[in-house]
Amino acid sequence: MTTDGDHGFGVNRLGKRKKVSAVQRVVLAVLTLFMTACDPATRLPAEPTAQIGTRALIKRHGQELVAEVTRVRGKLVTTEFNWRGEQVAKRRYYRGLYPISGTEYGYQFELDFDDSLLEQIFPLRVGNHASFDGNLKIIDRGTAVDVLVDMVVVAEKTIDLSESAHRVFVVEIETEYRSAAGVKRKNNTVYYAPDLSMVLKSVMHEEGQQTFWRVISVERPGAGGKVKSPTLRQRRSGTVMI
């Protein structure tokens, strides 16, 4: 038998539960906002922050060359690589991280792929992963190969350059090339700086060979710094490896 007193107690108790739940919801909302504000990934730029005119001095196995950002359009960053005033390569990078077209070694290349799959790795955070396949066309040769790319963010570090330190994300990129001649694989570990939308270090393993290069200084437009002219040795073939 339920009395009015029992009923009243029951209503009051339910009311208290509602008040507590409301308070909990407010506290949860505040904590969520606070955690979001403190999450480093949310503070990363949503779009490439590359600036036209930014120049980087790159050292590779005792050789030096200058990379200059020449165009930024949407999520695409175009970088030209120069040696003694002569352009030796030109690449267009998705967000400054992954090359999708360009010219190097005297050949023009272009990758057809679904960029929404690559976008899944952004904003960069340790553990983020992206995979996609595509078709890589070597336009001057009239040839093409299928590619399968897998990348994962494995670490967050700091790289010290001559003028400043930069926060970088270490991204491991595995690329598989498939053609009638067979399958080739390339593993590349890059150190990507979100504030520059630029790779500052690269270690590549391909067919038993390791290549390595590193940015040693960066000059931003209007910064008043100076990137010295490179004095690298030219390859016998007349091109510069990067």
What span, in angstroms and rounded, lies between the C-alpha atoms of 1 and 159? 75
Token pair 């209503």 is found at: 11
Cβ 54 vs Cβ 72: under 8 Å: no
Cβ 177 vs Cβ 183: under 8 Å: yes
* pLDDT on residue 41: 44
* pLDDT on residue 242: 54
- Domain map (residue ranges) of the chain: 4-38, 55-219
Q: What pairs with residue 175 in β-bridges?
A: 149, 186
* pLDDT on residue 110: 97
What span, in angstroms and rounded, lies between the C-alpha atoms of 5 and 153? 62
CA quadruple 94, 47, 58, 168: dihedral, nearest 10:
-110
* pLDDT on residue 223: 60
Fold of 55-219: YmcC-like fold (2.40.360)
* pLDDT tens track, the chain, 242 positions: 434 443 332 334 334 444 445 444 443 343 333 333 344 444 455 667 889 999 999 998 788 999 999 999 999 999 999 988 889 999 999 999 999 999 988 899 999 999 999 999 999 999 999 999 999 999 999 999 999 999 999 999 999 998 889 999 999 999 999 998 899 999 999 999 999 999 999 999 998 899 999 999 999 997 654 444 443 333 333 344 45
The tokens describing 100, both together, are: 């999708």
